Structure 1
Amino acid sequence: MATTMLKGNTVNLAGNEVKVGDKAPQVTVTNSEGLADKVVGGAQGKKQLIVVVPSLDTPVCATETRQFNAKAAELTDVDVTIVSMDLPFAAGRFCSTEGISNLTVASDFRNKDFANAYGVLIADGALAGVTCRAIFAVDANGIVTYKEIVPEITEEPNYDNALAAVK
C-alpha cells in the first residue's frame, strides 16, 4: 500500500496504484461548471495534466490551483484538470472568486472513482476519505509519463517537473 505524510505522520493511500508507463485509467469526474461529466485519463488525443488536491478550501491547495491556472495559460494542447473531493458548488465558487479560467476544476465526490482508480484516496488519519496531493501527466495515447505523490500533503508539488512532463 502506498503512503504519504500529513504533518509528519504516515497516512496510507487506498486504491489501485498507478505507475509511470501504465495506461491511465479513464474516469469520469464532475466539472464544477454546470455539473457536467468530464473524462480524465485514457487516450484523449492530447496531453493531460491531472492535478490532485485534498480540498480547494486550504491555503496550499488554493495556491497550487492558482499556480497551475497561471501556468496552464502558457501550455498548448494540454488539458489541465484539478481533481478534489470538494463539492462542485464550492469548487465553482472558488474558481469565480479566484479567477480560475485556464483549467478545469472537477470533483470526485460522487463515488470516489478517480481516487480509487489512481490510488490517491487517503485511507486513514485526519483526512481519511479525501485525496492526497498528487500529479499525473498523461500523453496523447493515455500512458502515464509522470507521477508525483507529494511526500508531505501540506507542501506544494514540484511545479517545474510536472510542467516539463507535458511540454
Structure 2
Amino acid sequence: MQLKFQGKPVTLSGNTVKVGDTVPDFTVIDNNLNPISLKDTKGVRILLTVPSIDTPVCDLETRTFNEKASEIPGVTVYTISMDLPFAQSRWCAAHGVKNVTTASDYKDRSFGKNFGTYIVDLGLLARTAFVVDSNNKVTYVNYLEEVTDYPDYDEILNAAKKAK
C-alpha cells in the first residue's frame, strides 16, 4: 500500500488489516505508563492512529472524536500515536479530552507493525481508522492515502454504529 506524507511517498511497515480480519493483538502504553493490549479492550472500538496529537490535523481529529464519542453508547475510541505518554497526558488535560483514550506506540511499535501503520521513513504512525466489533472482527478500515488529510468522521462513526 502506498501512502503519502505532504505529497511525498512513504514506506509502511507491517501487516495491512482488512475488513473481516480478526483484529491483531497489540500493546500500547497509556498516559500512566501502563500497557493496554487487545485483551484490555471490549465492545465496539474505534482505533485511530495519527502521526502526533500535537499537530493541527491530529489535534482536531482527536478533539472531534472526543465530542462525538458520547453520541454512540458502548463505543470506545482510542487515538494511538508515537507521542510519549507524558505529552499525551498534558495535551488531553489542556484540551479537556475525556471521551477518547490516548495511547502511545513508542515502546514496542506493535500497533504500527501489526496494523501496517508504521511509517518507516518518519518513525510515525500513518493516519488510519479501524472499527472493531465486540467479537474482535474488523468491520471498517481506512488507510488515508495522504497522511495529512482529515478522515471522514461521519463514515467512521456510522461504521461504529453498525458494528455490534
Out of 94, 111, 114, the position equivalent to 1:97 is: 94
Cα distance in 2 for partners of 1:119, 1:19 equals: 11
Structure 1: segments with no counterpart, 5+ residues: none
CA RMSD of aligned residues (A): 1.4
Q: CA deviation at 1:45?
A: 4.5
Cα distance in 2 for partners of 1:66, 1:121 equals: 23
1:1-167 equivalence runs, <5 A: 2-32=1-31, 34-40=32-38, 44-124=41-121, 128-167=122-161
Greater helix proportion: 2
Q: What is the number of equivalent residue pairs in this alignment?
A: 161
Compute the TM-score of the two structures, normalised by the length of structure 2.
Answer: 0.94
Compute the TM-score of the two structures, normalised by the length of structure 1.
Answer: 0.92
Q: CA deviation at 1:129?
A: 1.1
Cα distance in 2 for partners of 1:55, 1:69 equals: 16
Cα distance in 2 for partners of 1:45, 1:66 equals: 22
Cα distance in 1 for partners of 2:127, 2:65 equals: 14
Structure 2: segments with no counterpart, 5+ residues: none
Among all aligned residue pairs of Structure 1 and Structure 2, give the percentage whose two residues are the same amino acid: 42
Cα distance in 2 for partners of 1:105, 1:62 equals: 12
Q: Which moved more, 1:42-51 or 1:16-25?
A: 42-51
